[in-house]
Structure 1
Amino acid sequence: MTEATLRPNLGRINTTSHNFRADAEVTTDGRAKINLHNFSARASKLIAKRLDERPAWKLPIGEHLTANNKNYETDFQSVLGKYSGIPRINIAIFIVGSRGDVQPFIPIAQLLSQPPYNHRVRICTHPVFKPFVEENELEFFSIGGDPATLMAYMVKNPGLMPGIESFKAGDIGKRRADISEILHGCWRGCIESGDGMGGQAKPGLSAEDTDNLFVAEAIIANPPSYAHIHCAEKLGIPLHMMFTMPWSPTQSFPHPLASIDRHDTDANFANYISYTMMELLAWQGLGDVINRFRIRTLRLDPISPLWGHLLLSRMKVPFTYAWSSTLIHKPQDWQSHINITGFSFLKQASSYQPDDDLIEFLKAGPPPVYIGFGSIVVDDPNHLTNLIFGAVKRAGVRALVSKGWGGLGGEKPPEGIFLLGNVPHDWLFQHVSAVVHHGGAGTTAIGISMGKPTVVVPFFGDQPFWGMMISKAGAGPEPIAFKKMTEESLGNSIMTALTLEIQEGVRKMSEKIVTEQGDVEAAKSFQQAVNWDSMRCLLSPDRVAVWRIKKTNIRLSHLASSVLIDEGLIGVSQLKLQRTDNWHRVRHRDWYIDEGATDPLTGAMAFASGVATKTLSIVFDYKRNISTTIHKQHAATHDKGKDSERSSSEALPVLRKYSVSWDGPVPVNPVQAALSYPPERLELLAQRIASKSVPYQTGQPIRQRSFRAGRLPTRTPQNDAREEEHGLVYETAHDTSNFVTEITRTGLKVPVSFFYNLANGFHNAPSFYFGDETVRRRDNITGLGSGVKVAGKEFAFGLYDGITGVVTQPYNGAVRDGTIGFVTGVGKGAGGLVFKTCAAAFSLPAYTLKGLEKQFQKRHDRPLKAKILAIRLKQSLTEFERASHADKDEVIERWRTLGLDKSGVGLTGMGSRQSMKYGN
């Protein structure tokens, strides 16, 4: 068992076990220094053994679907298997970083939006890249954040964690606020129409805005976006990670952001554990920000950093790395869900028209050396400019110097130096002899692919990693750290890069790289990782399923559902977007995020740290709110509050006059009649469905009050007058009331957290201690009913497996491995008897209380649920209106051909055939 201790001072962690001890801390230059002390040479072997012994329910998603998705494919394979085409889906691509991070995704997005895929692809990134994305004819959505500010911050702090000076300057709070903004921006990019600019959701139910409605059905993301797995969990959709630097644990090389002092530790083990340590550091700094996003925005449970780190690798999330295997080969311990597809290039040379003065400079002498640092922002651009000019003179070469975001160059460069603006690299590098850059993945890729010797001057992040990889491959000299660079070192490196040996080495690499199609292979990698048959509509398999008929596993597209309703074959009350509390439509991917603590001790630590962290957070927020009330202008706070409440009030208009049901004798064709409904009526219907109060008769009275469950009370003129009259006293009382409410709520959750964490710890311990493959996956808890059901199952199976394991474990071990297997089985049986029976005892209060907690939380999810429902209703109406008679007739014909009209699935009752069953 590995035990991690998160110290009070940010940026320092320890982790120990009986095999090793490791500690990591942030040094003054911002790097994360990791010290390892190996107590046993068996440590690296233990890693591989534990990975191989993980239970079957933790294997890659492409191989093991959830039960309902697997049953859907199996039961209806005769229909679904006939279609080789791909349903068109909405893909949100999250990208956080510089232009070099965004650019590789552009050609991939273009391919996915074109035949044969034809998906709708939305690039969700920083607002500064809006023109860049849209000029490449792709949809853009702003997630907020300023990459220029981020680059300046990263230059000061070249590692994952910030340096001491940044702590003193207050930069940490600003960056945490940026991450919070980006998390919310990514979520908005999944469910909102428009481009996200201005921070407000655009109205989306009017007829002219229908085509702009967007709900993500798959996510592609780079790891620094952080919101990826959490948004995918909430929406129940596929997630695919893509990146230009290693992010998956491996024994082949260390984490690119780690500086390792491994002492006597095995090198393979040191490499592997560096990924865990870096993730723990990241979670220590951002865990509370991420959990606040999960709780307040997504209405999901928080995740403890003790098992929240390495979520992507533990969940076997499909990963595509956009570099060439010529430069870095795929490690042997990376499994089939991880692919290296090659560099992804955005071709811009064909449309670029260079200025005349640039052409004249290129013709005036031998090919120059390119020097540029892209999006890097430096504190003293004049000093860096003079250093570059001196190095060029020392090397005796001509140079093209890119001004970049750092503002290099001055007004009058020396002879033999030309200052560049924004010039596409795929055009420019055809005319240079070598390239000097910061080691960004994109610039590295294009330079090597065009056979240009490369000098890397790394500033931060993965740049030192790429510098070492280039040097190791023989494509350039050793990298020069920016803070250690001098005229002499840069000049010597340029001369070294121009030697015949390096030129020949990079030329051979180029010949292999130019044959690769990284963007094409990345698009294929995404397509292959998605289980398309489970996403198809049963009656229209070329469309994605978004609805499910209650009590069955029958999945329908927008068109199929609207046609069946209009024909009176099913009623709107029979359709569900959600599966119990995990409400959003058919869950094409059920992410099992919260498997919980690995053992009882970790569970106890998670309970204690969780309660302490939550309490401190509440106290801190209270102090901050009181301070804001006292020191900031009351008028600004007052106006902001009124605007916020007014927008909330406007989001739920009073629409008492409307009837909201499509069921009943009138009208004869309810969908055709609904085509003329105003947007407000659809919103009201969505609210009624979300609150499970859809009336079965038209004209039934509607109580507006029921829609506001879980929302703040509506602001009234009396409230405004009272606040204006009492000012500071009123606001302080309001903040104090919220503080008391939060503390009380936290106190009520203490017994839930205690029993829940310990129950999960006892449940998982046999797997993580002994590699026990008989440990069953615990079902998801979504409400009181499922909580009681899970508690009963865990109690019964815990006792059964614990007692019978005393006999079955030694027997199975002996059959498999002889005497050694028998002895091992005796240990597993004895350990299982203790842990599994304890798990059974704790499961009754733990999972019942957890179900009760979830039941109370459901009401807070209704506004968001109603918002998605309103979008889906409008999209269903639109597809119905635009569909041809032939398409509609085909849906009805397939319904009858499959015998669904006679199976009791329609309005006359619910189906009883096993293939129709779903649960509820």
Structure 2
Amino acid sequence: MRVFLSTYGSRGDVEPVLALALELQRSGAEVTVCAPPDFAGLLAGFGVPMVPLGRSAEALTKAAPPPSSIPEHAAELIAAQFEVVSEAASGYDVLVATGMVPAAAGALSVAELLGLRSVSVTFQQLTLPSPTHRPLAFPGRPFPPDVTDSRTLWDLDAESNNVLFAEALNRRRTKHGLLPVDNIRDYVIGDQPWLATDPLLDPWQESTAFDVVQTGAWILPDQRPLPDDLAEFLAAGDAPVFVGFGSMPMHSSADAARVAIEAVRAQGRRTILRRGWANLALIDDQDDCFAVDEINQQKLFGHVAAVVHHGGAGTTMTTTRAGTPQVVVPQAADQPYWAGRVAELGIGAAHDGPALTFESPSAALETALAPATGVRAKEVAGLIRTDGTAVAAKLLLDGSR
């Protein structure tokens, strides 16, 4: 079987797709991944063929374009899907689409054009309409503050998707002989979307609108050893606190690094600082801090006392599996949701909002470093499923939805 996997976004969007690609390869399938050019090295390192799509996701994130430019960038992504994927996916048996809505809409349209079976996947449930949670508001299109009715909010969400993406998508679809789509969001979701998250960390409550297939999280096993100098730092004292915000630009990165390091020091702990897309930097030359770039977080998180992070789905999952307490400082999108789940499960603390002050991370760190939190984090770690990619691969190879 030939499987084409399409995504666009940050590492949190690409790494799970790579995990599935490797599982499919082990099962004998031929696999190609379509992703932003930033991740060509990552996929090449695992021997997975890749087709680059669109502009650099990191450059676009750091540029922080205004909300008014969303339709323009969406049109670029959709055009790229039709131009790149329509050729690259020709002759495949099934297309799996995930990532940003316009990218997924374009990929699914190409699958329709090529007559391929398609599957739509999300890595968090907040994009799936449900009376149990609110939709995520798009930048520049906040929901009216006086509207609280769930159905009305989801109707507004559908409207926002159409306003931002419908013209570009339907222009391309019409050009290629496809009928226009009336509801972009529902077209992307389909009638049986896959939710690639852990059912304990992200419990889905049944909906009558569609039949969600929750596969479990798609986890990329990382066997890389830790660098010698980092291993030496870990061995030189008590377990440090990891601080990193992944693909988040952190508009005041110098202040964020200073506040985080000083808060960790106030707890009598050392710090491992990941530079990330925010380019965080050490604030002095004291020997209680160590800076890293790309690192095996699966291995590292088992050796730290706590993890302070942005609340991306992947980092939240990695920290939870490691059994390490966490402090989530949510910046955008689904990150407040993951912060809330961490707090509800008792495996860490949710920071109040994206801005760091000395007092706020200090209080959250006290909660995370409390002995009871550590015990609970280890309990939950033992309940997390690890078979998500195997489940998804079997469904694809069996032809099930």
Structure 2 length as normaliser, TM-score?
Answer: 0.90
Alignment match of 1:507 (pick from 354, 370, 378): 378
Task: Quote the residue 1:216 is aligned against.
Answer: 92
Task: Quote the residue 1:192 is aligned against.
Answer: 87
Q: Is the 1:143–1:184 Cα contact (8 Å) retained in structure 2? A: no
1:430 and 2:302 correspond = yes
The Cα shift of 1:339 comes to: 1.6
The Cα shift of 1:497 comes to: 0.7
**1:335–1:137 CA distance, 2 compared to 1 (3 A):** farther
Unaligned runs of 5+ in 2: none
Task: Quote the residue 2:360 is aligned against.
Answer: 489
Task: Quote the residue 2:47 is aligned against.
Answer: 137
Task: Quote the residue 1:303 is aligned against.
Answer: 181
How many angstroms apart in 1 are the aligned matches of 2:56 and 2:10?
Answer: 9
Task: Quote the residue 1:30 is aligned against.
Answer: none
Task: Quote the residue 2:324 is aligned against.
Answer: 452
1:286-323 CA-partner distances (Å, limit 9, x unpaired): 22221222233x2323334xx4442244x41x322121
**1:264–1:310 CA distance, 2 compared to 1 (3 A):** closer
1:244 and 2:123 correspond = yes
Alignment match of 2:197 (pick from 323, 344, 352): 323
Q: Is the 2:219–2:386 Cα contact (8 Å) retained in structure 1? A: no
Task: Quote the residue 1:341 is aligned against.
Answer: 215
The Cα shift of 1:440 comes to: 0.7
1:177-229 CA-partner distances (Å, limit 9, x unpaired): 43223223323443435xxxxxxxxxxxxxxxxxxx94333210115123133
1:291 and 2:170 correspond = yes
1:107 and 2:19 correspond = yes
Task: Quote the residue 1:746 is aligned against.
Answer: none
Task: Quote the residue 2:333 is aligned against.
Answer: 461
How many angstroms apart in 1 are the aligned matches of 2:158 and 2:353?
Answer: 24
How many angstroms apart in 2 are the aligned matches of 1:151 and 1:438?
Answer: 15
1:590-619 CA-partner distances (Å, limit 9, x unpaired): xxxxxxxxxxxxxxxxxxxxxxxxxxxxxx
Letter in 1 for 2:177: R
Q: How does 1:695-714 map to 2 (within 5 A)?
A: none
The Cα shift of 1:474 comes to: 1.5
Letter in 2 for 1:433: A
Aligned residue for 2:26, secondary structure, equals coil
Structure in which a larger fraction of residues adopt helix: 1
Alignment match of 2:389 (pick from 503, 519, 533): 519
1:866-908 CA-partner distances (Å, limit 9, x unpaired): xxxxxxxxxxxxxxxxxxxxxxxxxxxxxxxxxxxxxxxxxxx
The Cα shift of 1:425 comes to: 0.8
Structure 1 length as normaliser, TM-score?
Answer: 0.41
1:390 and 2:262 correspond = yes
Q: How does 1:298-697 map to 2 (within 5 A)?
A: 298-304=176-182, 307-313=183-189, 315-316=190-191, 318-333=192-207, 337-348=211-222, 350=223, 352-410=224-282, 412-483=284-355, 485-513=356-384, 515-528=385-398, 530=400
The Cα shift of 1:355 comes to: 2.6
Aligned residue for 1:310, secondary structure, equals helix
Q: Is the 1:471–1:479 Cα contact (8 Å) retained in structure 2? A: no
**1:334–1:130 CA distance, 2 compared to 1 (3 A):** farther
How many angstroms apart in 2 are the aligned matches of 1:339 and 1:272?
Answer: 22
How many angstroms apart in 2 are the aligned matches of 1:109 and 1:466?
Answer: 25
How many angstroms apart in 1 are the aligned matches of 2:150 and 2:358?
Answer: 34
How many angstroms apart in 1 are the aligned matches of 2:229 and 2:215?
Answer: 38
Alignment match of 1:181 (pick from 72, 76, 80): 76
The Cα shift of 1:431 comes to: 0.7
How many angstroms apart in 2 are the aligned matches of 1:497 and 1:121?
Answer: 41
The Cα shift of 1:106 comes to: 1.0
How many angstroms apart in 1 are the aligned matches of 2:399 and 2:204?
Answer: 18
Letter in 2 for 1:301: L
Letter in 2 for 1:180: A
Q: Is the 1:439–1:456 Cα contact (8 Å) retained in structure 2? A: yes
Question: Number of matched residues?
Answer: 394
The Cα shift of 1:475 comes to: 1.6
Q: Is the 2:86–2:110 Cα contact (8 Å) retained in structure 1? A: no
Task: Quote the residue 1:122 is aligned against.
Answer: 32
Letter in 2 for 1:467: A
How many angstroms apart in 1 are the aligned matches of 2:339 and 2:57?
Answer: 22
Q: How does 1:86-105 map to 2 (within 5 A)?
A: 88=1, 90-105=2-17
**1:503–1:438 CA distance, 2 compared to 1 (3 A):** same
Aligned residue for 1:466, secondary structure, equals helix
Aligned residue for 1:477, secondary structure, equals strand
The Cα shift of 1:520 comes to: 0.9
Aligned residue for 1:449, secondary structure, equals helix
Aligned residue for 1:512, secondary structure, equals coil
Unaligned runs of 5+ in 1: 1-87, 157-165, 194-212, 532-920
Q: Is the 1:238–1:530 Cα contact (8 Å) retained in structure 2? A: no
How many angstroms apart in 1 are the aligned matches of 2:372 and 2:63?
Answer: 38
Report sequence identity in percent: 24
How many angstroms apart in 1 are the aligned matches of 2:19 and 2:155?
Answer: 32
1:558-617 CA-partner distances (Å, limit 9, x unpaired): xxxxxxxxxxxxxxxxxxxxxxxxxxxxxxxxxxxxxxxxxxxxxxxxxxxxxxxxxxxx
The Cα shift of 1:446 comes to: 0.7
How many angstroms apart in 2 are the aligned matches of 1:178 and 1:369?
Answer: 37
Letter in 2 for 1:477: A
1:76-120 CA-partner distances (Å, limit 9, x unpaired): xxxxxxxxxxxx2x32211111012100111211122232xx222
How many angstroms apart in 2 are the aligned matches of 1:442 and 1:463?
Answer: 11
The Cα shift of 1:447 comes to: 0.4
Task: Give RMSD over aligned pairs.
Answer: 2.5
Q: Is the 2:310–2:329 Cα contact (8 Å) retained in structure 1? A: yes
